[in-house]
Amino acid sequence: MAAGLAAGKGGLMNAMSHSSMGQAVSMAPALDVNTLAQFVDLLPLPPIAKPQGSRPSPADAKLSVPFYRIQAQAVTSKVHRDLPPTEFWSFGSSTPGPTFETRSGEPLLVEWVNALPHQHFLPVDHTIHGAEPDKPTVRTVVHMHGAKAGPESDGYPDDWIVPGKSALYYYPNQQDAAMLWYHDHAIGINRLNVYAGLFGTFLIRDGVEDALNLPKGKYELPLLLYDRLLTRDGQLLYPVSPDPKSPWVPEISGNAILVNGKLFPYLEVEPRKYRFRVLNASNSRFYHLSLTESPSHSSTTGAQTKELEFHQIGTDQGLLPAPVPLTTLEIAPAERADLVVDFSEYRGTHLVLKNDAFVVMQFRVSSAKAADSSALPRELVPVPKIPESQAVQTRLLTLNEYVNKAGNPVMLLLNGMHWGEPITEKPVLGSTEIWTLINPTNDSHPIHLHLVRFQILDRQSYVPWLFQTKRQLQFLGPAQPPEPNEAGWKDTVRADPHMVTRIIVPFTGFTGRYVWHCHILEHEDNEMMRPYEVVAG
């Protein structure tokens, strides 16, 4: 615990565990999604963003780059055939927002416009830093998650704009092919804005990826997963605490899992290989995804069925060295997974994608023969491991949860420090550091660093109380290397409970002020976020 924190926060204690949702209450009756028919809505695909001409490049005024104008606005959308339209906020006229398609080395400009109403329709907690009563209720700032962009275009949480204003951001796209995503990042209300629907995807492609002959075109599809709670009339329900003056809750777990904006959708596929670009866009939920044959068109659990094999070919920041065969995929909030599924052995059958025991969506495999000239190569791209000797500094960084006398979580910090305290992490541009994430809690925290990509070194269990009381790291077993499907470039890492997670980070790209934070958005909004600054050497 940071010195002076207990006195400053009224005797708060650093939490070793908590029951996050035990104190959450709803403002309206929630819909029982099991009363709805399954697989009656076709899986929708987000529209492709279209440029509105070109503008001079901020990097070189003699060059013109594509210009996009994307508007955050209130929309309605039917999440299920048997529900009335749901009110959302989205980028553009549909939710999720449009997908950007671009190429490595081809920069673009985006004017992000705030055309939202002046009042929020979800419960704002004015006791949270950044959301005080003197702040506008509705604010937005867009972060391109995974982008190597200058600090003025990164979406710094304090750089918000109000309705009627806009901000022009420049994305150089000087990075490998990968699936990035954009989302709101306004301090204090980020969890509400993303829950409302303010997010979308951004695909960067390159020649290396092209040469692999992976499934493409109509055989490459995004699967954006996000859970929500809905009222009985199909509207978004965001739970609140029992304290009306402080409605923040530490985590959200919705019983309606949407895929590209639909509940229990189906997708008709040919018996051939498909590439699915999966994003966990949930506020808090971790997914454990599997693919099974469906004994019927409406069974949610039924008898135990065999989990089918698929392959993961990429992660947050691009392709893996080789495909990894899986039967279950764990994916934390903000993580992405690039998957290839071969349906050729399942002609005429129905398969279901499950999260643990619960059905998410259905695949209807055609019985007709299908041509397939795509490949699943044995090797993808080299990802040389960064030697630890390359690091010029190792930082010990703690993930802290604080509870009140009743044992309820009230705040979360990184390294025991608040958002507004002086910056303590100042890596030098061009240097490499090891960040050692020490997690004494019972929660797994997905930690995201802006600007950079990194590699996971290892995870190792330790004795939390000994570190908290004496700053001694006593390990309980050998260090475990990352799983094969994590052995690529990452921008978000799962820091597991009672574990030390080490990442090695090359700080390249730009100098300036960025942030690192937990991507459980309820945690991030209640101070589990810190600025860091890349400085010139």
213: left (phi over 0), alpha (psi -120 to 50) or beta: left
Total count of residues recorded for the chain: 537
CATH class of 384-534: mainly beta
Rounded to 5 degrees, what are φ and ψ at 63?
Answer: -105, 140
* Residues sharing a CB contact under 8 Å with residue 69, sequence separation 6 or more, in sequence order: 52, 110, 111, 113
Rounded to 5 degrees, what are φ and ψ at 350?
Answer: -115, 130
- b vs e for 21-44, b when ≥16 Cβ sit within 10 Å of the residue's Cβ? eebbeeeeebbebeebebbbbebb
CA atoms lying within 13 Å on the CB side of residue 426: 6
pLDDT in tens, the chain (537 residues): 333 233 233 333 343 333 333 344 445 678 999 999 999 999 999 999 999 999 999 999 999 999 999 999 999 999 999 999 999 999 999 999 999 999 999 999 999 999 999 999 999 999 999 999 999 999 999 999 999 999 999 999 999 999 999 999 999 999 999 999 999 999 999 999 999 999 999 999 999 999 999 999 999 999 999 999 999 999 999 999 998 889 999 999 999 999 999 999 999 999 999 999 999 999 999 999 999 998 764 344 445 578 999 999 999 999 999 999 999 999 999 999 999 999 999 999 999 999 998 999 999 999 999 999 999 999 999 999 999 999 999 999 999 999 887 777 789 999 999 999 999 999 999 999 999 999 999 999 999 999 999 999 999 999 999 998 888 899 999 999 999 999 999 999 999 999 999 999 999 999 999 999 999 999 999 999 999 999 998
**Rounded-to-integer distance, Cα 470 and Cα 63, Å:** 57
pLDDT of residue 403: 85
Domain ranges in the chain?
23-210, 217-365, 384-534
pLDDT of residue 336: 98
CB 278 within 8 A of CB 220: no
CB 452 within 8 A of CB 317: no
Per-residue CA distances from 362 to 39, 83, 227, 269, 282 (Å): 7, 19, 17, 10, 20
pLDDT of residue 410: 86
Per-residue CA distances from 152 to 33, 311, 451, 454, 534 (Å): 42, 38, 12, 22, 13
CATH fold of the domain at 23-210: Immunoglobulin-like (2.60.40)
**Rounded-to-integer distance, Cα 192 and Cα 184, Å:** 9
Q: Residue 217 has what DSSP assignment?
A: G
**Rounded-to-integer distance, Cα 32 and Cα 256, Å:** 9
pLDDT of residue 27: 57
Instruction: For residue 140, give the 3-state DSSP assignment.
Output: strand
pLDDT of residue 237: 96
Q: Virtual CA dihedral for 377, 382, 383, 389, nearest 10 degrees?
A: 150
**Rounded-to-integer distance, Cα 187 and Cα 118, Å:** 17
pTM beyond 0.75: the answer is yes
- b vs e for 499-536, b when ≥16 Cβ sit within 10 Å of the residue's Cβ? bbbbbbbbbbbbbbbbbbbbbbbbbbbbbbbbbbebee
**Widest Cα–Cα separation across the chain:** 70
SS3 string of 30-46?
A: ECCHHHCCCCCEECCCC
217: left (phi over 0), alpha (psi -120 to 50) or beta: left
**Rounded-to-integer distance, Cα 24 and Cα 235, Å:** 18
Q: What is the full DSSP assignment across 474-515? A: -BSS--BPPPGGGSS-BSEEEE-TTEEEEEEEE--S--EEEE
Instruction: Read off the amino acid at residue 23.
Output: Q
pLDDT of residue 114: 98
| Residue 49 burial by Cβ neighbours in a 10 Å radius (0-12, 13-18, 19+) | buried
Query: 217-365 belongs to which homologous superfamily?
Result: Cupredoxins -  blue copper proteins (2.60.40.420)
Instruction: Read off the amino acid at residue 162.
Output: V
Query: In the block, which residue shows the tokens 């509705």?
Result: 138
End-to-end CA gap in the chain: 32
**Rounded-to-integer distance, Cα 230 and Cα 44, Å:** 20
**Rounded-to-integer distance, Cα 338 and Cα 331, Å:** 11
Per-residue CA distances from 463 to 14, 338, 435, 497 (Å): 15, 35, 19, 11
